[in-house]
């Protein structure tokens, strides 16, 4: 938990700044609206962190989110009776993408940066071919409900968004998986010293492949929430892969793997969303937001490298 204290402090400062700029943020409805917007990124950061702590990267998640939204609209065509088998197929797609990323990276020894960059282009091209440049179909209400609806008529908060519930459940599972299971210990070992981990009996390729699969599943969940909240778009997941990596780095994770905290990674995603919200409230343009994101990555990685050198 100590690893999460710096980013939690930064998050508290950002939330206070938002509250000063927009007093509505202090009301339950305002804060829950912020958490609902942040939920896809936080869930995606949890999946990305599993990959990064194992010593790899996953750049394909943003394109996978777009594929989920566009494929869901095209396959359901607004028919609620098709929703559940389409959702099952989307999770199958996420698992398949994760398996391909993991097998190519660990068995064929292609760097994960190149593997997942290639997968990003494959998914982007497939979506473009599928849609012809303009997504067709529509998302049925029982698909969109997770991203835009909630439990109504609650005291004080009035509505509890389903996306917040999904976020809490995924967060608890992710924290327990990484910090309370043998698999989590193997992930840390694979990222910290893969040779020593292999000698101690850890199946490093399998562990890393499973991390890619879980990252793919997290991207599918994020895509369902994005589709529900924002609707159909050819660019639904654009930039999410870099935001997820930024969030993990901001949470203090070592990009070489082996160190970090799931709570800190998810808090990093909340802090990043809070920063973007604050910049929007101040009227600053998107190009500046992208520049800030790049500075965060450079600064956080440089600081992590500095700490690692001092520790050694």
Give the angle 25-145-86 at the CA atoms, nearest 5°.
Answer: 140
Report pLDDT for 261.
Answer: 86
The pairing of strands 150-154 and 158-161 is antiparallel
Q: How confident is the model at residue 151 (pLDDT cuts 50, 70, 90)?
A: confident
The alpha carbon of 15 is separated from its chain's Cα centroid by a whole number of angstroms, namely 20
pTM of this prediction exceeds 0.85:
yes
Residue pair 18/25 in contact by the 8 Å Cβ criterion: yes
Q: What integer pLDDT is reported at residue 4 of this predicted model?
A: 73
Q: Using an 8 Å Cβ cutoff, are 206 and 190 in contact?
A: no
Return the exposure string of 226-249: e unless at least 16 CB atoms fall within 10 Å of the residue's CB, then b: bbbbebbebebbeebbbbbbbbbb
Query: Is the pLDDT at 1 greater than 70, yes or no?
Result: no
Task: Say which residue the tokens 């958490």 belong to.
Answer: 35
pLDDT on residue 177: 94
Per-residue pLDDT tens digits for 243-257: 898 888 888 777 766
Q: Is the pLDDT of residue 18 over 80?
A: yes
pLDDT, position 65 = 96
For residues 65 and 222, what is the distance between their CA atoms, to the nearest angstrom? 7
Give the separation between CA 278 and CA 264, rounded to whole angstroms: 20
Range of the domain at 125: 2-311
Average pLDDT score, the chain: 88
Tokens at residue 256, please?
């070489």
Is residue 49 within 8 A of residue 253, CB to CB? The reply is yes
Residue 284 CB neighbours (<10 A): 14
* Least confident segment among 39-43, 113-117, 134-138, 161-165: 134-138
Per-residue model confidence as pLDDT tens digits over 200-257: 989 999 999 999 999 999 999 999 999 988 878 888 888 899 889 888 888 877 776 6
Q: What total of structural domains would you count in the chain?
A: 1
Instruction: Write the CATH number for 301.
Output: 1.10.3470
The residue written with tokens 């101040």 in the block is: 282
pLDDT score at 87: 95
What φ, ψ does residue 159 adopt, rounded to 5°?
-135, 135
């Amino acid at each position: 938990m100590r690893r999460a204290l710096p980013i939690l402090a930064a998050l508290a400062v950002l939330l206070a700044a938002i509250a000063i700029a927009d007093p509505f943020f202090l009301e339950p409805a305002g804060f829950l609206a912020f958490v609902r917007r942040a939920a896809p990124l936080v869930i995606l950061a949890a999946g990305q962190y599993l990959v990064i702590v194992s010593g790899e990267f996953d750049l394909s998640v943003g394109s996978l989110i777009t594929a989920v939204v566009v494929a869901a609209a095209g396959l359901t065509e607004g028919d609620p009776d098709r929703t559940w088998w389409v959702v099952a197929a989307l999770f199958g797609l996420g698992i398949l993408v994760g398996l391909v990323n993991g097998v190519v990276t660990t068995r064929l020894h292609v760097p994960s940066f190149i593997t997942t960059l290639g997968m990003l282009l494959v998914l982007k091209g497939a979506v473009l071919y599928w849609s012809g440049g303009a997504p067709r179909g529509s998302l049925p209400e029982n698909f969109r409900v997770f991203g835009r609806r909630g439990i109504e008529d609650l005291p004080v908060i009035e509505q509890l968004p389903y996306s917040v519930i999904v976020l809490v459940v995924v967060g608890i599972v992710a924290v327990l998986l990484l910090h309370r299971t043998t698999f989590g210990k193997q992930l840390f070992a694979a990222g910290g010293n893969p040779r020593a981990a292999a000698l101690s009996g850890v199946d490093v390729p399998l562990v890393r492949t499973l991390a890619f699969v879980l990252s793919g599943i997290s991207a599918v969940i994020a895509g369902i929430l994005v589709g529900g909240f924002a609707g159909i778009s050819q660019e639904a997941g654009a930039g999410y892969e870099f935001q997820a990596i930024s969030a993990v780095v901001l949470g203090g994770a070592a990009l070489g793997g082996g160190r970090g905290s799931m709570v800190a990674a998810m808090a990093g995603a909340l802090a990043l969303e809070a920063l973007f919200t604050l910049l929007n409230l101040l009227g600053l343009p998107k190009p500046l937001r992208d520049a800030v994101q790049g500075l965060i990555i450079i600064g956080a990685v440089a600081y992590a490298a500095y700490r690692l050198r001092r520790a050694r």
